[in-house]
Structure 1
Amino acid sequence: MGDVMSSEKKFWTWLLVISFSFIILLITFLLFIIFPFHIEQMKTRSRETVSHLQFVLPKLNSADRQQYLERMSKVAQDLSYLLLMDRQGNALAHSNPERVGMNFDEAGLRKCLATGETIEQIYIRDADKPSSPYHGEKTIDILSPYYSSAGRIEGAVNVGLSLAAIERAKMHYISVSAAGTILWLIFISVFAASHIRTMRQKLATDNALIESEAKYRFLVENSSDITYKLDIEGIITFIGPQIRRYGFEPEEVQGQSVEIFIYQADVEQVKEILRKSIKSEISTVALFRITDKMNKIFWLETSGSVIKGEDGRLMGFSGTLRDVTQRLQAEKELSDTKALLMTAIDQFPAGILVADAPDCRIRHCNSELLSLRGNTTDELLNIPFPLHSERWQFYNTDGTPADPARLPLTRAILQGEKVSNAELTIMRSGKEKRILLTNAAPVRNSEGMIIAGIAMFTDITDVKRMEEQLRQSQKMEVMGQLISGIAHDFNNMLGGILGSAEILALKLRGNPDLKSYIDMIQKGAISAAELTKNLLAYARKGKISSTAIDIHESLREAIALLGRTIDKRIEIRLVLKATDALITGDPALLVNAFLNLGLNARDAMPTGGILTFATTNINIDESYCQSHPNMNPGLFIEVNVSDTGTGMTTDICEKIFEPFFTTKEFGRGTGLGLAAVQGTVQEHGGSINVYSEPGKGSTFRILFPAERNTGAASAAIEEDLVRGTGCILLIDDEILIRNIVHSQLTELGYDVLLAENGEQGIEIFRREQEKISLVMIDLIMPKISGQETMKRLLAIDPGVKILLQSGFNYSEGMDELIKTGAAFIQKPFPISTLGRIIGQIIKGL
């Protein structure tokens, strides 16, 4: 700075010495050289101020912008005003704070915003406001657009250079010239003062620019994004220190082509983006990959625009880089998860309805529910809950229109209820009444807030009709055949549901929020499987699981459940005297049987009483077994379930185990409870009898064969997946089962070949038998049955390993098939069971 001032002093000293000799030349110099130069300097400073404000102001908040303009106005005295406007011409900041918020929309501004060019024009201030102190003031307006971080034009910076100041300078120089030699010294002093003032203004502007650059440097170095600049050849001229995250130093990258870290496959794409951006001079947003020094791939998002010089010539390209790797990965995982869930919902054999909280607007329904609704021109989605019943034609079971506020889905969202097994009716196509079993639950986020609700509608119309028909039937065999068929269909559907849920659970181990929904689906499917098992127990068509269990534990579990449900006035007593309490059977069916007996006893004691469960060991001889063909002589466990209730007559005792017989009022009992108990007992090789008199209570005497060969209950099945390798041929006519089992086998590590019927499976086996390790066959298929398919495969290769599967339980008719070496698995089966059984067959695990 000292050198500059000294140089200026010498200049003016020499100017004074030689000025007397060149007075005429000096006058000419003043009027035609110095004066135009002075004016151009004022314009240049104004342009520099515009460029400076264009770069700095958008990065400041509103308060800092206003203060900054006021300070600039004080040091830039040649300028009439400084102004920052938005796209509508509203003043966001003004060197005169009283004019902030005024609108300055005019043709020059619109042209500037439309073309993105800097506009210079003559402007008459407040021409339509005679009372304004600035009325009629002429200025040279310089307008230039400013851009957002995304490269969009957000408004304009405006600097007004006063023409009055220019005119005053002109008159000043004319006066000085006219004064001639006499006033020359005065002119020199004035000009010197003017020049000094100009230098001071430039110094202030330079200092402000240095301060602005310091702030910009701070922002660049402390931002998570990477700032960069390229020349028009794609050479990096500047890059932020954040590039170190990828193993590069800024110094080694600067001066290199952008190809230095761009993923090879994306190089041409990036070059093309740069070429188009530079050619079209528009802002660019793009995605591409880079590799760090360890060759790890990252996704970056760039946002930038071209750089122009003061002469409008293209200088290069500048912008920012943002690492979006984790965002893209999360978006992909979310998209995949959503696709899986939506596929599961759309393929689900029951109707599904999903609504948002808190307004209960329906967001999604699956094709099954649309099929239940039938043809309609009504809008069914995005409707408020008061219209749910009207649009979806929901009615109560008594035929009255359902109250929208009491619909299961509405209750789940607004009240947070989990509604189970609520019955509704729906009018299909406005004329066919269908009965729906409805389950609904709220969907909560990680904070426990309800964000949606989901309802499942199962069409039970046909089931209801079958129940009505079965009420008239007295033949257990007919009921058994019917229920077995239903169980097969249920097990097939449940296999798809449970398998889908397990695959989703495995893929969503890192997402506990979504996994909770999968757990609910699994629990529902398992509960449905237990229901199927109970149905088979009613008909005595199922085969119990061969598990050594302590019957005392089953009694304790049943009593624990009863203690939470029955009247507290009923005292429950447990008397365990049996020393050999182990039997072979199904613990779930036994607990269910004891629960049924306990609930019947509860109904017989409406005012309270005593309910007793007692056990003892007895030996059964041949004479007793002759009247009970399913029993063999030996040691038995006797279970007595007694109550002090109302008792029963002899006629009722004779009919008590008949299916559909009930003494309860209509709607409170199905008449299947004790029939199921009898079926369970007989499936366990035992017998049941009842002893009762009116007013003296009832006692149910149950005998189970004791198990002496096992010292403890069998261990729980290991839940860890047993994986393996090899090729498995899956033959099943159900596409849902094929898809789900295919996913399970793939998860377990096996290659899978699929066939939709026996003929196709045999043909595939002929071609690929060398690499096939195991064949899975569904027993119930059209065209060629599973048994016939198995026989033909054994004819081709007697050593082929076969695993039979069915929605029906294992039955004695399958014994001949099993003797050939085949194994059997009951649908639905979890992936852990499937893996264990296949491991036993293929590897002998």
Structure 2
Amino acid sequence: MSIRNLLDDKKLIDLQRFQLLVDAITDYAIYMLDIDGRVVSWNAGAQKFKGYTSEEIIGQHFSQFYIPEDQKAGVPALALQIAETEGRYEIEGWRVRKDGSYFWASVIIDAIREDGRLLGFAKITRDITDRKKAEEALRLSEQQFRLLVQGVTDYAIYMLDKDGYVSNWNSGAQRIKGYRQEEVIGTHFSRFYTPEDQRSGVPQRALLTARTEGRFEQEGWRVRKDGSQFRAHVVIDPIYNAFSEFVGYAKITRDITEKYEAAVALKKTEQALQHSQKMETIGKLTGGIAHDFNNLLQIISGNLQLLSAEIAGNQHAERRVTNALAGVRRGAKLASYLLSFGRRQALDPKVVNIGRFVIDMEDMLQRSLGETIEVETILADDLWNTFVDVAQVENALLNLAVNARDAMESVGKLTIEISNAVLDENYARTHAEVNPGEYVMLAVSDVGSGMLPEVVAQVFEPFFSTKPEGKGTGLGLSMVYGFVKQSGGHVNIYSELGYGTTVKLYLPRSTEQEGKLTIQPLEKIVGGAETILVAEDDDEVRTTAIEILMGLGYKVLHASDAESALAIVDTGVKIDLLFTDVVMPGTLRSPELARKARERLPNLAVLFTSGYTQNAIVHGGRLDGGVELLSKPYSREALARKVRSVLANCKQHKT
């Protein structure tokens, strides 16, 4: 046998082996086409997923595997043309099985040549329908996820690359932060942080934490495109690909400004409520003490004044009595402050224009503060009227001015500003005991040392003082606070350490016309011959009152309780004035005593006295209409003038 024959036999064996290999493959359709595209071979894989046996398909044109649309478009012919001219054609697309069902195929067609002559085509087809479905499912999932992310407007959802540069941007990010996608992609995410956070390296620490700990979560202030700030809840997670390689960060930001502000407002309200409740408790305590305390002061004051008449001419003794009476006045002022703080002061309000009133006080303020303090008063145009106790406004303004002078160490500028103000619903929600509405604002500002926030939180509490020991009672601001609150107003204080303090008093607006404020001249102390019935449960107070009134020339009857006083009235004896304590024991209350006494004696004048009025003749913090009150402790001069005034008013009213 020749060598040529041996070589031909070897080729034949190799070809047979190759054919066996091709026929054994079931996952791929491997077959040949002639130069016209007719099938000339067919393997088991082709039969498996195309459904044709070799007998059925050999000699048939391969275009029948294509869907009708591709056949009409000439895709089979184009595939062979490309394979012939370029040597290879590769594509994915829909193909048709024998039963008419479709499958997604990966197709390769190679041109077969011998000595440059085209013999036909080798065609390999793989059914990748499952992979196609998985890819389509993934594509749909990704598309839906993108739509979901883009549809979310309450959250800014976007990605950062490994260095923190923005790589995508959703509609929520645009709504919250204000940047369009083309404005922000490719820029560093640190632009969303406040300048302070940028300088302190917060953005870099956020990425480092996310990378090393697997997550970064924080609340903080962020900056919008327009420069405004919002409170944000931020989450940053690292992103890894399928090969566990770090590729960047996922960042979710939510605008929680409203929630944050509501929480802050709630906390402030709770703190204000706690403060208000504490003030109310202390107020009740001070009110309960004040009655007995003022009665004691009245006993001391009355007896000292009686004593002063007996020691006339003894200068040494007179000086001692004068000093003692000065102590009584200081005690009375202290009690008055406590009552004001506790909102138990009997206010006598009038409709007044605060602006004109303060202008009239300027000279007195300047004298009180000294020449080294510059006082400037700023009045807004068209100031509203307010309904307040003018004497209490004067006390409050003096207290604030003196505090300001001390904070400036007697050198500096004091500014008094008065303007109209409207406190709205939002303000009222964040401040306890504030009714929304129209107010007249009286502000006192200094350029003094200022206070820390923790000090500001305590300044209205009684006996709290920033002054050195012995330099202040700690009751000035508490008196101001109580007076304004009792008047239905509001107090706000702002202070910054090293820059000064501003205290703002908001007094409710009155739409009524201002009455004329008249200052009563100090009349000569005179007595009279009228008959006065003194009703007082405290024996020592009653004794001193009787002696003072008798010393002024009056005829005096007396009783230790309201029932006994009414019994005296029922005797028919002539009585010109009933001088009664407001708070006395027994079932008959003093206002009821006054009413019944006037029923029996229509021309009777009534003068109340008390160290603490409770709610007997004071309602809503104000004296009842037509009520005359002389607060304890009172002086001989004050009692004498008040008695004459009440008797005169009663006669004038009757005529």
TM-score, normalised with respect to structure 1: 0.37
Q: Which has the higher contact order (CA 8 A, sep 6+)?
A: 2
Task: Give TM-score scaled by structure 2 length.
Answer: 0.46
Larger radius of gyration: 2
